[in-house]
């Protein structure tokens, strides 16, 4: 296989021009922070016919809040996400803070993570737990895809080659959220596995997401159904009692049952299965305990 | 010229700053902080080509054919060379000459160089390398070191897979009597493959010379041993090959063997143009040797009151595909196999084995790291068995001056092992609360399942080369007067790899010559050898050479001063830029004595001789100095998830004399952290001989977040045989820290944890170890 | 493509830059600015840290074309007319330099930290340096240097 020697790099400042470029040449690579793609490009491991820069298109670098949803432009770097959106998106901000290093977070974006769709990427579990939607746009038009339908395989998504990830729409927090990540080093480390939990009191549910423990990021659906039922059945939303240990443990077991992990240098499959159960149990415990503490604090303020 | 002692001058003659014992600043520091220091990967030349290496994708294969036509046809390509283009000896090796410069008909490890290319730019060179067609007959690789020793294993090299066997027999074992004791503990321990992971990649620039020779500017630990091998490969007269030290971005043992040296020279000579080669990080992982993985079966026998009676050990090291320094590493493992303990009887066998795994060789600690993990794990196990405090058990058995160690050598210098242990033990414990600054990437615990553990270890190792090898050093010292000021110029070929030998040389010259202004110049391969920057030896050996040369210069200057003063025996010293007499009285200005006639001396300095190990008993005075350090590690372990945070490390080390206290601390911090990395995260993983993680994404070295506060206790017990009493300092910090960290994690978890690096699944208790388990 | 960018205040026009080339490659090979180092070229070591339009980045992960029309500051631009930057002085004073290959990146990360946060705590310092690997020092003297640089910078700024 011979790769083309050169690659055009387009620098549009209008979204339409970027879309035209994607439509004109199949395989054109959109590049925002470059933190994933440059590793492949600079070693010649990947040689697309063209790349298109997303950092000059103003609408991609903006976020806005409307009707309880943050619309996060695909090219907003993690540093800005963590600094500017920790209020409405505490879980996503927390996950973003664990990505790589400051240098990486200054460049890396949620849009880029979605484009690469690496199963161990730190923001995916939280996007799943939050029920985010991905805005895809092409010269043909625009569509929204729930993130739970977005990942289709290792590094594969529903994005068509001519489509661009324009933004991700993330519901604002209405309760505690937490991101639990296990890795072998104190910083600058890929998650061996991770778990996100987000409490949605208005719906009586807990959103979940698991990273690094299957071909794709995935939600713990059985665990979600189970805990929603337990919270309702035990009238815990009303009583604000602690979650029984048995419920926490079962939640963890169900989360672990959802994964199909691999053995690799970051950890064994057995470890990942075990750790997902532990992380899920802990993350659920934290969001519920925080919710109870918040509720009690509110009561005291009112009284 | 009338040398006089003006009164106004007397005030400056008291003490010269930056002498031995001062934290003199690095002379290369200002360049380094400006980004202006020229590392080997920064070198460029007019009209330069870029070289790249085509490497074997297979750990074991026969090469059926190599077709370079398509690569040569690519525009911008100037040369594609294979083994046929090596004019001299197509083999290299710093000890055993067994490694092809370019593979001939067999490849023995993944990444073995098969062809090299020179092209106008690195991208073209890389694409050309992809166009070289190599037909391989892939063979099943030999990947298990123990299996490699069985008779039915394929041979990696003609002559079998046993690279060196070092037997060691002491006491009853030497007399063929059985070894018995009241209390016996056994254990099998493993150490994984660590990488030196220096930051500056293998690189250099080869420039063809008008005389048909070549000059190579390269980052290395020892120009002269490289020179020998490059000369042989090129088939040129020695004087036509010149090696120059380029800026070195860390070494730690990984620059003791050839990497791109001969390749770049071959390409430069073929093309007639300068050729630069610079490895990528991935290539660097296959482009240098690693720390030997070790499997160590230990048996310790002791009395009920905790006195060691005997040690049996069988240790197998995976040497990988080529010998590198494996024979010497095996010797060090054996010599250090009993620890710094009094052990009357011992039966130890160390075998280093060829396999088709990545070649292993020198890395900081050089075998002493592996054996320390083995014997210190055993000491903890024995303490448990005896119900004794683990530090008390160690102190009870510690060697001291006058004791014999494993090779039967009686320590004739201070060996304060018990004192080092006491110092780390007696330091107050850190507070129970976790340290400030939570881990960035660890959001997995709010304190659940976190258990504190404390572990201790003490280690030792030889300084310098052993077993009769004379690793002398050469230094030239010149004292001259410029602009009315005396200054010294020190020249040696000692490789500055970051450790600070350049600073130390200047400090010694200042000390001996009493001048502040000292320039240290790097000698190239035409200058005398300084021996390698390895084995913790440069301050001792090159330091010794500089001291001796400076003393010779001083003697001549004092003689000249006496002559000028007309009073023999008056001038007794040099200090503060002056010649001084009895009581430090200033006699005259040094610059005036020197005038325009510089004084220069070159000395080849040898440490005291060492002797071979007896081939049957491993006994012999093979070492000229041993060095010692102890560590205490305190860790917090999330026992459910297997996550470890090091809370604090305390260490104590005898350095003989702290020549540069600040640089010394830097060595101790850095070495300790490399050891922490080995305990917790650093491992090259191979499967079927194929490296699984050749990148900084998955070969993890400690970040600033992984490093705890460190308390360093420095002892300065002078070695009477060493210049200034110094003791080598580079390696001891790296020897006992892995064992101490692992012991602390055991203490927290209650698990056996017989293997480092500790994996998450190990610490979480998910790994079953045959014959052990939860204790 | 033809790339125009400003490096340490000086404008450069560079021809025939490949789309796959990194900003690091342009700095080192086209402009001869070898202060930013090439240790891993995967964004995993921080030794190529530079500022791009005032934002700290790994130059190895920036496609060079993305730097078109932008401003880059490297370690070579740290020292001013009147001498070394306080961060450079602090690294020398504290013995934070051994082999020095990580030093340019460490200096840039420290400078970046002190721009954002003149009085950093331990956690902030460690977070700022977590992307910069050092293999020699064990970080002890580097942490000392960052603390000293912060103190000196504050002292300078406190002067009337």
Q: Which chains have 3 or more CB–CB distances shorter than 8 Å to chain A?
A: B, C
Task: Give residue C157's pLDDT.
Answer: 78
* B676 inside 8 A of chain A by CB: no
* C143 inside 8 A of chain B by CB: yes
Report if residue B654 sits inside a domain: yes
Last residue of one domain, picked from the residues C25, C47, C77 = C77
| A-contacting residues in C 40-59 (Cβ below 8 Å) | 41-44, 46, 49, 55-58
pLDDT tens-digit readout, C23-48:
999 999 999 999 999 999 999 999 99
Task: Give residue B278's pLDDT.
Answer: 98
Residues A293 and A201 in one domain: yes
Q: What is the tally of structural domains in chain A?
A: 3
Nearest to B33 among C47, C92, C131 (CB): C92
* A6 inside 8 A of chain B by CB: no
The answer on pLDDT for B195 being more than 60 is: yes
Cβ neighbours of B200 in C, within 8 Å: 37, 39, 99, 101
Yes or no: say if B453 and B634 are a contact pair by the CB < 8 Å rule: yes
Residues C90 and C68 in one domain: no
pLDDT tens-digit readout, C101-120:
999 999 999 999 999 999 99
Per-residue confidence at C158, pLDDT binned at 50, 70, 90?
A: confident
B437 to C139: CB separation less than 8 angstroms, yes or no = no
Residues A188 and A296 in one domain: yes
* B433 inside 8 A of chain C by CB: no
Please tell me the number of Cα atoms within 13 Å of B580 on its side-chain side.
23
The answer on pLDDT for B11 being more than 60 is: no
The answer on pLDDT for B345 being more than 70 is: yes
CB atoms within 10 A of CB A104: 23
CB atoms within 10 A of CB C30: 16
Q: Which residue from A245, A225, A229 is spatially nearest to A289, judged by alpha carbons? A: A245
Yes or no: say if B527 and B758 are a contact pair by the CB < 8 Å rule: no
Report if residue A281 sits inside a domain: yes
Residues A298 and A182 in one domain: yes
Yes or no: say if A11 and A53 are a contact pair by the CB < 8 Å rule: yes
Question: Rounded CA gap, C58 and B645, in Å?
Answer: 27
Question: Rounded CA gap, B511 and B16, in Å?
Answer: 7
Last residue of one domain, picked from the residues A146, A171, A196 = A171
* A183 inside 8 A of chain B by CB: yes
The answer on pLDDT for C129 being more than 50 is: yes
Task: Give residue B439's pLDDT.
Answer: 56
B440 to A266: CB separation less than 8 angstroms, yes or no = no
Cβ neighbours of A41 in C, within 8 Å: 20, 63
Domain encompassing residue B519: 7-37+472-605
Lowest mean pLDDT among B320-324, B328-332, B444-448, B625-629: B444-448
Task: Give residue A302's pLDDT.
Answer: 74
| B-contacting residues in C 77-96 (Cβ below 8 Å) | 78-79, 84, 88, 91-95
Q: CATH code at A84?
A: 3.30.465.10
Residues B115 and B263 in one domain: yes
Q: What average pLDDT does chain B have?
A: 95
Last residue of one domain, picked from the residues C60, C77, C94 = C77
| C-contacting residues in A 54-93 (Cβ below 8 Å) | 55
The mean pLDDT value for B470-489 works out to: 96
Domain encompassing residue A33: 8-52
Distance from CA of B392 to the nearest CA of C (A): 30
pLDDT tens-digit readout, B249-285:
999 999 999 999 999 999 999 999 999 999 999 999 9
Cβ neighbours of A180 in B, within 8 Å: 443-444
Domain encompassing residue C94: 86-158
Cβ neighbours of A43 in C, within 8 Å: 41
pLDDT tens-digit readout, B78-94:
999 999 999 999 999 99
Q: Which residue from B659, B638, B727, B644 is spatially nearest to B506, judged by alpha carbons? A: B659
- With vertex at residue A178, the alpha carbon angle to CA A177 and CA A181, rounded to the nearest 5 degrees, is 160
Cβ neighbours of B282 in A, within 8 Å: 43
- Would you give per-residue pLDDT tens digits along chain A (303 residues)? 334 457 899 999 999 999 999 999 989 999 999 999 999 887 777 889 999 999 999 999 999 999 999 999 999 999 999 999 999 999 999 999 999 999 999 999 999 999 999 999 999 999 999 999 999 999 999 999 999 999 999 999 999 999 999 999 999 999 999 999 999 999 999 999 999 999 999 999 999 999 999 999 999 999 999 999 999 999 999 999 999 999 999 999 999 999 999 999 999 999 999 999 999 999 999 999 999 999 999 888 776
**Length reported for chain C:** 160
Question: Rounded CA gap, B37 and C91, in Å?
Answer: 15
Cβ neighbours of B499 in C, within 8 Å: 98
The answer on pLDDT for B773 being more than 80 is: no
Task: Give residue A67's pLDDT.
Answer: 96
pLDDT tens-digit readout, B355-399:
999 999 999 999 999 999 999 999 999 999 999 999 999 999 999
* C20 inside 8 A of chain A by CB: yes
Q: Where are the alpha helices (DSSP H) in C75-121?
A: 86-93, 103-116
* B280 inside 8 A of chain A by CB: yes
* A184 inside 8 A of chain B by CB: yes
Q: CATH code at C38?
A: 3.10.20.30
pLDDT tens-digit readout, C2-25:
999 999 999 999 999 999 999 999
Whether ipTM tops 0.85, in short, is yes
Task: Give residue B9's pLDDT.
Answer: 38
Nearest to C61 among A38, A43, A53 (CB): A38
Query: Which residues does B516 contact at the CB level (< 8 Å), separation at least 6?
Result: B16, B17, B18, B510, B577
The answer on pLDDT for B436 being more than 60 is: no
Report if residue B735 sits inside a domain: yes
Task: Give residue B438's pLDDT.
Answer: 54
Residues A298 and A187 in one domain: yes
Question: Rounded CA gap, B732 and A141, in Å?
Answer: 66
Nearest to B760 among A5, A184, A286 (CB): A184
Residues B121 and B270 in one domain: yes
Nearest to B281 among C39, C102, C143 (CB): C39
DSSP secondary structure string, B73-118?
A: HSTTEEEEE-GGG--S-S-B-SSS--B-SS-SSEE-STT-EEEEEE
Last residue of one domain, picked from the residues B580, B605, B630 = B605
Residues A229 and A282 in one domain: yes
Report if residue A1 sits inside a domain: no
Residues C63 and C91 in one domain: no
Residues B49 and B125 in one domain: yes
Distance from CA of B300 to the nearest CA of C (A): 34
Distance from CA of B580 to the nearest CA of A (A): 57
Question: Rounded CA gap, B716 and B706, in Å?
Answer: 29
Burial B580-589 (b: 16+ CB within 10 A, else e): bbeeeebbbb
B700 to A271: CB separation less than 8 angstroms, yes or no = no
Distance from CA of B21 to the nearest CA of A (A): 36
Task: Give residue A1's pLDDT.
Answer: 34
Report if residue A3 sits inside a domain: no
Question: Rounded CA gap, A220 and B140, in Å?
Answer: 42
Report the chain B residue with the minimal C-alpha distance to residue C127. B440
Burial A23-62 (b: 16+ CB within 10 A, else e): eebeebbbbbbbbbbbbbbbeeeebbebbbbbbbbeebbe
Cβ-in-10-Å burial (0-12, 13-18, 19+) of B403 comes to middle
As given in the structure block, the two tokens for residue C151 are: 């103190």
Helix, strand, coil shares of chain C, percent, nearest 5, are 40, 15, 40
Report if residue B207 sits inside a domain: no
Residues A35 and A138 in one domain: no
- With vertex at residue B264, the alpha carbon angle to CA B259 and CA B269, rounded to the nearest 5 degrees, is 145
B764 to A275: CB separation less than 8 angstroms, yes or no = yes
A106 to C126: CB separation less than 8 angstroms, yes or no = no
Q: What is the tally of structural domains in chain C?
A: 2
As given in the structure block, the two tokens for residue A277 are: 């159960």
Q: Which residue from B644, B764, B639, B686 is spatially nearest to A270, judged by alpha carbons? A: B764
Per-residue confidence at B435, pLDDT binned at 50, 70, 90?
A: low
**Length reported for chain B:** 775
Cβ neighbours of B199 in C, within 8 Å: 37, 39-40, 45, 47, 99, 101-102, 133-135
Task: Give residue B2's pLDDT.
Answer: 37
Residues A149 and A219 in one domain: no
Task: Give residue B774's pLDDT.
Answer: 38
Q: Which chains have 3 or more CB–CB distances shorter than 8 Å to chain C?
A: A, B
pLDDT tens-digit readout, B450-471:
999 999 999 999 999 999 999 9
Report if residue B205 sits inside a domain: no
Q: What is the tally of structural domains in chain B?
A: 3
Q: CATH code at B519?
A: 3.30.365.10
C57 to A39: CB separation less than 8 angstroms, yes or no = no
B446 to A282: CB separation less than 8 angstroms, yes or no = yes
Report if residue B630 sits inside a domain: yes
Nearest to C65 among A11, A104, A187 (CB): A11
Three-state DSSP class for C16? coil
Which residues sit opposite B458 in a β-bridge?
Answer: B630
Cβ neighbours of C110 in A, within 8 Å: none
Question: Which of the 8 DSSP states describes residue B579?
Answer: E
Task: Give residue B768's pLDDT.
Answer: 76
Alpha carbon of A146 to those of A129, A169, A228, B240: distances in Å? 11, 9, 21, 69
The 3-state secondary structure of A258-277 reads: CCCCCCECCECHHHHHHHHH
Last residue of one domain, picked from the residues A145, A171, A197 = A171
Report the chain B residue with the minimal C-alpha distance to residue C123. B437
Residues C107 and C43 in one domain: no
Task: Give residue A5's pLDDT.
Answer: 56
B33 to C91: CB separation less than 8 angstroms, yes or no = yes
pLDDT tens-digit readout, B205-214:
999 999 999 9
B759 to A268: CB separation less than 8 angstroms, yes or no = yes
Question: Rounded CA gap, B92 and B324, in Å?
Answer: 9
Last residue of one domain, picked from the residues C20, C42, C77 = C77
Cβ neighbours of C1 in A, within 8 Å: 8-9
């Amino acid at each position: 296989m011979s790769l083309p020697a050169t690659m055009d790099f387009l620098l549009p400042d209008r979204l339409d021009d970027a879309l035209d470029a994607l439509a004109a040449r199949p395989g054109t690579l959109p590049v925002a922070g470059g933190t994933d793609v440059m590793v492949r490009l600079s070693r010649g491991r990947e040689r697309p016919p063209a790349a298109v820069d997303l950092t000059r298109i103003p609408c991609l670098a903006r976020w806005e809040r409307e009707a309880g949803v943050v619309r996060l432009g695909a090219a907003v770097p993690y540093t800005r996400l963590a600094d500017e959106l920790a209020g409405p998106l505490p879980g996503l901000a927390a996950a973003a803070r664990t990505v790589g290093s400051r240098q990486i977070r200054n460049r890396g974006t949620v849009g880029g993570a979605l484009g690469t769709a690496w199963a161990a990427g730190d923001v995916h579990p939280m996007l799943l737990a939050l029920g985010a939607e991905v805005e895809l746009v092409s010269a043909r038009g625009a569509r929204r895809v729930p993130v739970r339908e977005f990942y289709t395989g290792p590094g594969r998504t529903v994005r068509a080659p001519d489509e661009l990830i324009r933004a991700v729409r993330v519901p604002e927090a209405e309760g505690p959220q937490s991101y639990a990540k296990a890795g072998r080093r104190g910083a600058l480390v890929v998650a061996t596995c991770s778990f996100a939990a987000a409490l949605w009191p208005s719906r009586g549910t807990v959103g979940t997401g698991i990273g690094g423990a299957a071909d794709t990021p995935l939600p713990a659906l059985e665990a979600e159904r189970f805990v929603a039922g337990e919270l309702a059945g035990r009238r815990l939303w009303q009583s604000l009692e602690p979650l029984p240990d048995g419920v926490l443990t079962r939640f963890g077991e169900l989360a672990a049952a959802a994964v199909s992990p691999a053995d690799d240098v970051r950890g064994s499959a057995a470890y990942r299965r075990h750790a997902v159960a532990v992380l899920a149990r802990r993350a659920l415990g934290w969001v519920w305990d925080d919710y109870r503490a918040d509720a009690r604090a509110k009561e005291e303020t009112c009284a | 010229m009338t040398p006089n002692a003006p009164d106004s001058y007397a005030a400056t003659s008291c003490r010269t700053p930056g002498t031995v014992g001062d934290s003199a600043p690095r002379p290369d520091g200002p360049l380094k902080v400006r980004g202006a220091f020229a590392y080997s990967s920064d070198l460029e030349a007019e009209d330069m080509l870029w070289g790249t290496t085509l490497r074997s994708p297979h750990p074991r294969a026969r090469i059926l054919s190599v077709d370079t036509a398509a690569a040569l046809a690519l525009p911008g390509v100037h040369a594609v060379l294979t083994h046929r283009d090596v004019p001299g000896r197509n083999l290299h090796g710093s000890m055993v000459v067994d490694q092809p410069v370019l593979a001939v008909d067999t490849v023995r490890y993944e990444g073995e160089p098969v062809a090299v290319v020179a092209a106008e730019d690195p991208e073209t060179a890389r694409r050309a390398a992809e166009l070289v067609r190599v037909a391989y007959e892939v063979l099943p690789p030999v990947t298990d070191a123990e299996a490699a020793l069985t008779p039915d294993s394929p041979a990696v090299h003609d002559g079998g897979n046993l690279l060196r066997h070092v037997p060691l027999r002491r006491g009853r074992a030497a007399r063929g009597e059985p070894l018995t004791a009241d209390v016996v503990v056994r254990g099998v321990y493993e150490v994984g493959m660590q990488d030196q992971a220096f930051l500056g990649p293998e690189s250099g620039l080869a420039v063809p010379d008008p005389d048909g020779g070549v000059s190579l500017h390269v980052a290395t630990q020892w120009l002269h041993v490289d020179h020998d091998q490059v000369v042989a490969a090129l088939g040129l007269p020695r004087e036509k090959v010149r090696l120059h030290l380029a800026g070195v971005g860390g070494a730690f043992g990984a620059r003791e063997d050839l990497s791109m040296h001969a390749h770049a020279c071959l390409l430069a000579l073929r093309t007639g143009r300068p050729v630069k080669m610079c490895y990528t990080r991935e290539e660097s992982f296959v482009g240098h040797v690693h720390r030997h993985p070790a499997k160590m079966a230990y048996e310790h026998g002791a009395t009920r009151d905790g006195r060691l009676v005997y040690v049996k050990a069988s240790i197998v090291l995976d040497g990988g595909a080529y010998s590198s320094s494996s024979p010497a590493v095996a010797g060090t493992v054996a010599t250090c196999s009993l620890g710094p303990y009094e052990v009357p009887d011992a039966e130890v066998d160390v075998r280093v084995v060829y396999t088709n795994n990545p070649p292993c060789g020198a890395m900081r600690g050089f075998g002493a790291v592996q054996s320390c993990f083995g014997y210190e794990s055993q000491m903890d196990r024995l303490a448990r068995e005896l119900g004794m405090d683990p530090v008390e058990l160690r102190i009870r058995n510690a060697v001291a001056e006058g004791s014999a160690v494993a090779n039967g050598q009686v320590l004739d210098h201070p060996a304060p092992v018990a004192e080092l242990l006491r110092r780390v033990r007696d330091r107050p414990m850190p507070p129970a609360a976790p340290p400030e600054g939570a881990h960035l990437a660890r959001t997995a615990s709010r304190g659940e399942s976190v258990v504190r553990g404390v572990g201790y270890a003490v280690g030792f190792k030889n300084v310098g080369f052993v077993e009769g090898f004379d690793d002398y050093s050469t230094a030239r010292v010149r004292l001259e007067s410029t602009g009315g000021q005396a200054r010294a110029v020190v020249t040696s070929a000692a490789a500055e790899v970051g450790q600070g030998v350049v600073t130390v040389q200047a400090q010694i010259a200042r000390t001996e010559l009493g001048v502040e202004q000292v320039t240290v110049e790097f000698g190239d391969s035409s200058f005398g050898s300084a021996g390698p920057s390895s084995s913790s030896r440069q301050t001792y050996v090159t330091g010794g050479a500089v001291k001796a040369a400076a003393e010779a210069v001083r003697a001549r200057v004092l003689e000249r001063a006496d002559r000028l003063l007309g009073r023999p025996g008056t001038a007794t010293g040099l200090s503060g830029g002056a010649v001084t007499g009895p009581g430090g009285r200033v006699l005259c200005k040094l610059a005036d004595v020197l005038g325009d006639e510089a004084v220069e001396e070159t000395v080849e300095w040898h440490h005291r001789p060492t002797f071979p190990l007896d081939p049957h008993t491993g006994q012999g005075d093979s070492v000229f100095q041993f060095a010692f350090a102890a560590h205490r590690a305190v860790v917090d372990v999330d026992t459910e998830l297997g996550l470890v945070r090091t809370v604090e490390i305390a260490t104590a080390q005898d350095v003989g004399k702290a020549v540069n206290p600040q640089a010394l601390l830097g060595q101790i911090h850095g070495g300790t952290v490399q050891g922490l990395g080995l305990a917790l995260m650093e491992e090259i993983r191979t499967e079927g001989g194929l490296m699984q993680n050749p990148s900084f994404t998955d070969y993890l070295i400690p970040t600033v977040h992984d490093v705890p506060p460190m308390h360093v206790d420095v002892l300065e017990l002078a070695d009477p045989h060493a210049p200034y009493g110094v003791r080598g300092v580079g390696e001891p910090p790296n020897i006992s820290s892995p064992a101490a960290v692992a012991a602390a994690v055991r203490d927290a978890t209650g698990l056996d944890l017989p293997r480092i690096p500790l994996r998450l699944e190990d610490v979480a208790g998910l790994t079953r170890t045959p014959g052990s388990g939860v204790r | 493509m033809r790339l125009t960018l400003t490096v340490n205040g000086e404008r450069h026009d560079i021809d025939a830059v490949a789309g796959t080339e990194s900003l690091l490659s342009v700095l080192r090979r086209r402009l001869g600015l070898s202060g930013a180092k090439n240790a891993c070229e995967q964004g995993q070591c921080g030794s190529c840290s530079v500022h791009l339009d005032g934002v700290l980045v790994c130059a190895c992960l920036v496609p060079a074309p993305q730097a078109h029309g932008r401003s880059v500051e490297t370690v070579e631009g740290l020292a001013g007319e009147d001498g070394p930057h306080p961060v450079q002085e602090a690294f020398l004073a504290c013995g934070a330099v051994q082999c020095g290959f990580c030093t340019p990146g460490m200096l840039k990360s420290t400078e970046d930290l002190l721009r954002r946060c003149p009085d950093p705590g331990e956690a902030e310092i460690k977070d700022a340096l977590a992307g910069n690997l050092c293999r020699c020092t064990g970080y002890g003297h580097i942490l000392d240097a960052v603390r000293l640089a912060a103190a000196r910078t504050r002292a300078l700024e406190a002067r009337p």
